[in-house]
Amino acid sequence: MREKEAYSVQAVVKAIDLLEALAQGGESSSIAVLEKKLELSHNKAFRLLATLEDKGLVERDKANNTYSLGIHAFEMAQHILKSDNLIRMAHPIMVELARKLDEAVYFTVANNDEVLFLDMVDSFQQIKTADYVGRRFPFFTNAAGKVIKSVGSIDLFGRANKKNGIKDVQKLEVELNEIRRTGIAVDFNGLGEGICTVAVVIRDYAGKAVGALTLLAPSFRMLQERLETEVIPCMLEGGELLSMKFGYSRVYA
């Protein structure tokens, strides 16, 4: 037995097999067909289907007593496809920015009440920040989250708690208004001591935020003169180019 198989949970494996069978079939299947295809007892097939139905991954047609993939399964697939599409479109611009500025550049997206670091192009610097890909942070603790949240209306008072990183609501409102005006967010130490974050929002054709281009670098390299003359102009240019890829135009904003 392979090492991975030693840790597999058979109920989970069979549930995935059921979903794959429904996806491959392309149409509704009866429980009898699924039992035969997957070599399951009637009782086990019924319990698995009932659990998947409860989670929205499977739907049952009561009239015909057949099963098909549920809406939640399609939603999950859409999220995966969307993430992949975002990365494919953003990556070339991230590479260009990372090479021009020689700092790590990330693509970050909103994920529930957090910002998720989805993809990264690293720098060639000897001293650099840790790899943040796959990590999540409350929106208002960092530049990436703030620049995403600066687009559209924000219920700060409903989120005024330590979990979301809000300590002073009025101060945050002023900061977000300034970010909205300039299109850029700069943060020191929000993601850790000695880390500078610079983020610019990416908009779609409707002007909504789809994510943010986010630069992370040690604070000692982010002197004010370099920020103003090099980093911020490059990030704004990259953000505008990527937003245009998503159909955004200032004319229609």
Residues 6+ apart with CB under 8 A from 78: none
CATH code: domain 3-69 is 1.10.10.10
pLDDT at position 161 is 52
Cβ-defined contacts of 77-81 (< 8 Å, 24+):
none
Based on C-alpha coordinates, what's the Rg of the chain? 23
Q: Average pLDDT per run of 10 along the chain, which is 253 residues long?
A: 50 84 75 89 90 88 86 64 75 96 95 86 92 89 93 58 65 90 94 96 89 96 96 97 87 50
Please state, in angstroms and rounded to a whole number, the distance separating the CA atoms of residues 188 and 172.
15
Give the sign of the dihedral formed by CA 238, CA 243, CA 248, CA 253: negative
pLDDT at position 160 is 45
Determine phi and psi for 175, rounding to 5 degrees: -65, -45
pLDDT at position 26 is 58
Please state, in angstroms and rounded to a whole number, the distance separating the CA atoms of residues 131 and 119.
10
Please state, in angstroms and rounded to a whole number, the distance separating the CA atoms of residues 203 and 210.
6
Domain 79-252, second-level architecture: 2-Layer Sandwich (3.30)
- Asked whether 222 and 129 are in contact (CB, 8 A), the reply is no
The domain spans of the chain are 3-69, 79-252
Q: Whose CA is closest to 111, among 61, 148, 60?
A: 148
Tokens representing 26?
């392309």
Helix (H, G, I), strand (E, B) or coil at 10: helix
Please state, in angstroms and rounded to a whole number, the distance separating the CA atoms of residues 67 and 237.
50
Q: How many residues does the chain have?
A: 253
Please state, in angstroms and rounded to a whole number, the distance separating the CA atoms of residues 148 and 29.
43
Please state, in angstroms and rounded to a whole number, the distance separating the CA atoms of residues 104 and 170.
32
Helix axes 42-54, 10-25, angle to 10 degrees: 80
